[in-house]
Every structure is written in structure tokens, then in C-alpha cells.
Structure 1
């Protein structure tokens, strides 16, 4: 008996379909936004970046497929290892990473000679580890020392290591962690206290950086915020060009491959790819992209709701929060609702690290969805004793953390 495609690609079918549709948008937008650049750099070869992006996309889909086959209990066990790997990687990046615009964000992978953005891996590792910690401390979640204190330490460590080089990523990660804590039933007064401490810590860091003689990213952050606020003074060049692209797109756009702003707008293939999509496909294309991410949010929220265990529910929620917030921040920057942040559009923007990490996040979500479907088929109405035993077996995973 022949197997259908959804017998091979298990888990939520809607999520698989959304990923493939976003992939099609990505290929079209990347080809359009990089054609001129590739022509100049590679002697007329306009397809260089397209083919490179296609290879990364296929590799990422392969990773996503592999991850979705791993049982979520194994992923929960790996979260601690990932976190302990992310911290030294961030430290190494600060000292020996590749610098760009006064910020060390990348390290070079030996032998492969590929750049890897460690903050993307750290985001994934922290949210996985935080989901596991919250799940393991549900019995003492209201206790400040045994519950809350253990949760905030890894959040502060990772965000503090990312902050000097990438304020927006650190801020979005901190916000995602706060939301996950709220979903995990952490007391609201503890969360407000955490937010207050975070604001004070950031203000203290900025103050030190401004009065010191060393070069830092604070000047860049300041200029971006000032440009966003003082629109009468001309605003930010990137933001202005993005608005021009969006305004010229109209209802149905100029047509695929007919963008003008791709030759003017910095990083049109990553930080501002949403603006290029709107210029070429118009308001219709923008609404389709927004709709896809909203459906993705709905489908993942449904997985959280169906899960009868805390660990996998929080794991899916963590991955969903990271991805959806980043997507809407990217779109908000493109249309001028937010200051320039440099955040990519998940599954659409060109970038090997971003695409790979997004695929792992989605693979984790599909892993939980696959397990729920499997459990429903094998035991639609489990006996109380059996269900209790399964819960105790999963609790053993968290005790290690």
C-alpha cells in the first residue's frame, strides 16, 4: 500500500502547508531582491543567491523533518544540554566572533567556512530550557526561591550576553520568556517585578556605555529611536525606503520581479523582505502573509490546548511565541510602526542560521503534534491508571533539571 505525503510528513497538516507556502514566497522574494546584487558580484549570474538560498531551504526542511520524528520527551531532556552549550557560545562570540557595525554576532564554523549567528541558537535553547524548568516546578511555582528564582537566572544570563551586540534580539527574547512564564502560571506580581528589574538593568547598561570611551552599539540604538520618533527630521533611511516600496505596491503590486526599491533599500532580502513582497504583490500579498502567520498561531495554540501535559504544552508555546513575535516585529518595522531592529521574517528572509533555527522550532511543534496524534490513535480513551502512569513517566524527565 502506497503511503501518502502526509503519512510521511506527520503532525499538523496545516502547519506543513503553511511552511511550504511561506517557502514559495521566500524563493520568489529572495530571487527578486538579490538578482541585481548577484549580477554585479558574480559576473551576470543572477541566480547565485537563489540557488544558495534553495540549498539552505532544503537543508532546513530536512532538519525540520528529522526533528519532528524525535519524541518530545527526548527534546525536553536535550534542553539542558542546549542551554549549557549556548552560554559558552555566546561568550566566545563576544570575544572572538566576527564583528559588524561594532557588534560581534557571528562565529565561523570550522571546515565549512560558514557564519553562524549564536544568538539565534541561544533563543531556541533558552525557551526550550525555560519550558522544561517551568513544567518541572509546577508544584512550587508560587514559591519565590524554589520556583521563580530558578526561572529568571537563565533568562538574565542569556539576555545579558546577547544585549551588547543585539538589543532587539535580547529584548524580544526577554519578552518571549515573560509571556511563557505567564502561560506557565507564574505569579503576576513576580512577572511585574522581573520586568522592572529588566528595565533597570538595561538602563544601567546604556548609561555605562554612554559615559565610557569604548565604542558600543548604544549610538546605533539611539539614532534608530530618534529617527523613528523625529519623523519630521527625515527619519531613518531604511524605514523611508521601505515605506516607499509599500506605498508604490498599491493593491496588487507591480508584479513579481518588478521591484524598484530592491536596488535602493539596504538588506531587502532579509531585514526588509516584507516590504519587497508588498511592492511586488501589493496589499493582497501582505494580507496573505499576515493570514498565514495568524493561522500558524492558531494551529500551534490548538496543539497547546490539546496537550494534557504541561511540558509539551509549554514547549510548543515557547516555540510559537518566539516565531510569531519575531514575524510581527519584522512586519511592524517594514511598515514603520516600530524602529528598525534587523529582525528577519521566519521562513521567508534569506539567512542560513535564521532558516535553520526556525525549522528546528517548527520541527519541535510538529513533534508534539505527532505524539498527540499517535496517542489519540493508540489509546483514544486511556484508563485512569494508565494515564497517571504516563504522567509520572514524563515527570521523571523534568526531575533531571
Structure 2
């Protein structure tokens, strides 16, 4: 609040790291993230006991695991947010390379857990989804290449970033995971737009996406089934979409009451992809609007702070992370209310899932690191540095 009223607090580089971090981090976004995590635990208490009973586990087995993975995610987020942008860039590139190798090896070593898409590695005690960890690393390496291309005698970084994006999307489509593929392509497009891409190229990319969607519809039974279900005028009440739609209608404005919802007993993914349906049924539109507002706070405040940033890499990487974070939340909630076809995408920091929580902690930690206030200097100094 002090920062909003009196402006940025001056920070000396000799200050201890924790006070310096607290004075420069975006505390509004940090608070919103912590509230989202708390809401996730609250909804987990409602949504996960039926699944635990079905699998013969203790009633709060999944809630305990969510608290464990969520705690790890918050620790990772805090540590990452304290790093300098240069260190975040190095670790992001290394993380991308590791996640990409894991993604490539999925057809040989991965499993689909009976869901029709090979997206996970089973470790016995847990599972890992490489695509979740790939996204923040991809944003960092793409932003690094795009910023390097703007330097005098710099490499053709935009072309390299495009090649990497298409390669990643290709491997994701092979799983198939069209949701994550679309999110990666969207993140690249946003960064390329901010970096000064011509509108003709962006329109061409949009046309390529439409063509790719038509090709996938005609050649992928998994993709076609989801599109047909979305376009159908009638909703089968025994499908996940039917259960979710009915739950949202039953919830109304204030909900049916804590613990009184019924959708969690019918939806197998009530604790992950359709967690918003549980929120809408038991707590009503009020909680859903609060969740939407929290995601808007994080996304909009991050973009506003990045508008003041003069370092090209920080501005591009931060914009990509903020937009992908906000759009992933929008996709998850859009699927729940049947505005979008089913994507199998979690709600960041709210849905259950070890990979999504920890990878979300990494991504948001990077975003907090990039949006920390730092001396910008005079604009002429910025151009002078680029000239050397």
C-alpha cells in the first residue's frame, strides 16, 4: 500500500536479501497467489473425499498431497522470485532443455493413465507432466532469443524462437495435448507481438492455427470427439460437461452450501479440470467472481509493471508468463461453463496436481522476479548500452 501511495521505495543493493525482496516484490500479486492457494485447499476439502473413497484411501488423502505439493510450490516460488533476472534466464534455459528431453521421451517411457493421451511419467508415488515444466522455460528461452535479435549484429533470434515453438507444439500434438500446444503457441505469439512482429505475420499464424485445427479434427479421434461434444446443441447429462453445467446452474448466486454439493460424486475430475464447478455449486457465483478477480489482479498488475520495464528480455519474458498464466485460468473456467471445448487443463494454484502446482510455482516465481521494482535509469542510458 505504501508503494501505491508514495511511489517506489528506494532500495540499496547492500540491504539484506529478504528486506530488499519485500520492498521490491509486487505484494498485491503475491497476496492474490496465496489467496488462490487457500481457495484451492478449501475446494479440495470439498472435491477430493469422494475420489479418495472410490480409490479406498483416507478421506483427505488428496488434500494432504495438495498441501504438500502446494507448500513445495510456494517455497520454489519464493526462492525463484528472489533471483536476479540473469539467473532466472540461465535456470530457465536449463529447465527448458531438461523438460524438452523429457517431452521427447514420453512416447517411449510415458503413460496415459487410461485417459487416451500419453502426457505423464509414473514415478509410483507421484506422476510428472513434462509439458507443465516446459512452459516457463520455453517463455524464457524465446524471450532471450527475441531480445538478442534486437541487438546490433544480433542473431536471428525471432526465427530461432519460431523454430523452437513449432518443434515444441509438434511434440505436444503427438501426445495429443492440443490445449498445452495452443497455450505455448499463444505465449510465443504474444511475445512476438510485443517484440514488434508485423501484423501480416500474426494473421498468417492465426490462419495456420485454423488449418492445424481442421487437420487435427480430421485425423485425431480424440480431438474430434471433444469438438463434436462442444458443438452439440444438446448436453448429455451423464458426461463431465453435463455434470458441470448442472452444478453451476444449481449453485446460483450464493451456492447450495458447504459440503452440500453433489457434482463431486459424479465428476471424476472434480478436483482438477472441473474444480470451478465445485466452487460454483457449493459457494455460488460469489466465489467464482472472487477467483476471476484474483487472476485479473495478478495478470493486469504484472503487465502494468512490465510496461515500465526497459530491459527487453525482462519485458518479453514477463509478458509471456503473465499472459499464459491468465489465459490458462480463462481456458479452464471457459471449459467448465462450456464456452470452450474440453482441454484437460488445470486451474493454476487451485486445481489438484503436483506437476501443475510446482511448475506454477516456478512460473509465478519467475514473473514476480521480473516484475520487481528496480532502478531503470535514464532512457538515453538504455540506448547507449544497446549501442555497445
- Band of TM-score, shorter chain: 0.7 to 0.9
Kept after mapping to 1: 8 A contact 2:217/2:224: no
Distance 2:19 2:249 in 1: 40
Kept after mapping to 1: 8 A contact 2:51/2:268: no
**Are 1:153 and 2:166 matched, yes or no?**
no
Q: Which residue of 2 aligns with 1:185?
A: 196
Q: Which residue of 2 aligns with 1:360?
A: 362
**Are 1:174 and 2:178 matched, yes or no?**
no
**For the structure 1 residues 249 and 6, does the alpha-carbon distance in structure 2 shift closer, same or farther, using more than 3 Å as the test?**
farther
Q: Which residue of 2 aligns with 1:215?
A: none
Kept after mapping to 2: 8 A contact 1:253/1:280: yes
Kept after mapping to 1: 8 A contact 2:306/2:319: yes
**For the structure 1 residues 383 and 250, does the alpha-carbon distance in structure 2 shift closer, same or farther, using more than 3 Å as the test?**
closer
**Are 1:101 and 2:112 matched, yes or no?**
no
Q: How far does residue 106 in structure 1 lie from its aligned partner after superposition?
A: 0.8
Which structure 2 residues correspond to residues 12-27 of structure 1 after superposition, within 5 A? Answer: 12-27=26-41
Q: Which residue of 2 aligns with 1:37?
A: 51
Q: Which residue of 2 aligns with 1:325?
A: 327
Q: How far does residue 225 in structure 1 lie from its aligned partner after superposition?
A: 1.0
Select 1:124's aligned residue among 116, 136, 139. 136
Q: How far does residue 249 in structure 1 lie from its aligned partner after superposition?
A: 0.5
SS in 2 for 1:338: coil
Q: How far does residue 306 in structure 1 lie from its aligned partner after superposition?
A: 1.8
Kept after mapping to 1: 8 A contact 2:240/2:267: yes
SS in 1 for 2:307: helix
Which structure 2 residues correspond to residues 144-293 of structure 1 after superposition, within 5 A? Answer: 146=156, 148-165=158-175, 166-201=177-212, 203-204=214-215, 207=218, 210=219, 218-232=220-234, 234=236, 237-293=239-295
Q: How far does residue 344 in structure 1 lie from its aligned partner after superposition?
A: 0.6
Distance 2:267 2:152 in 1: 51
Q: Which residue of 2 aligns with 1:70?
A: 83
Task: Give TM-score, length-normalised by structure 1.
Answer: 0.84
Distance 1:239 1:83 in 2: 34
Distance 1:113 1:281 in 2: 32
Distance 1:297 1:204 in 2: 33
Task: Give TM-score, length-normalised by structure 2.
Answer: 0.87
Distance 1:174 1:18 in 2: 27
Kept after mapping to 2: 8 A contact 1:251/1:283: yes
Per-residue CA deviation, residues 307-333 of structure 1 (Å, 9 max, x unaligned), is: 121111111111111110010011111
Per-residue CA deviation, residues 250-302 of structure 1 (Å, 9 max, x unaligned), is: 11112222211110122000000011101111111111111111111111111
**Are 1:11 and 2:21 matched, yes or no?**
no
Kept after mapping to 2: 8 A contact 1:227/1:235: no
Q: How far does residue 72 in structure 1 lie from its aligned partner after superposition?
A: 0.7
SS in 1 for 2:30: helix
Kept after mapping to 1: 8 A contact 2:190/2:319: no
**Are 1:135 and 2:147 matched, yes or no?**
yes
Q: Which residue of 1 aligns with 2:126?
A: 114
Distance 2:44 2:304 in 1: 32
Distance 2:379 2:55 in 1: 65
Distance 2:282 2:204 in 1: 45
RMSD value over aligned CA atoms? 2.7
Q: How far does residue 337 in structure 1 lie from its aligned partner after superposition?
A: 0.8
Distance 1:233 1:34 in 2: 25
Distance 1:140 1:94 in 2: 42
Kept after mapping to 2: 8 A contact 1:79/1:132: no
Q: Which residue of 1 aligns with 2:105?
A: 92
Distance 1:331 1:94 in 2: 30
Q: Which residue of 2 aligns with 1:80?
A: 93
Alignment: residue pair count:
369
Q: How far does residue 117 in structure 1 lie from its aligned partner after superposition?
A: 0.2
Distance 1:291 1:118 in 2: 29
Distance 1:8 1:240 in 2: 46
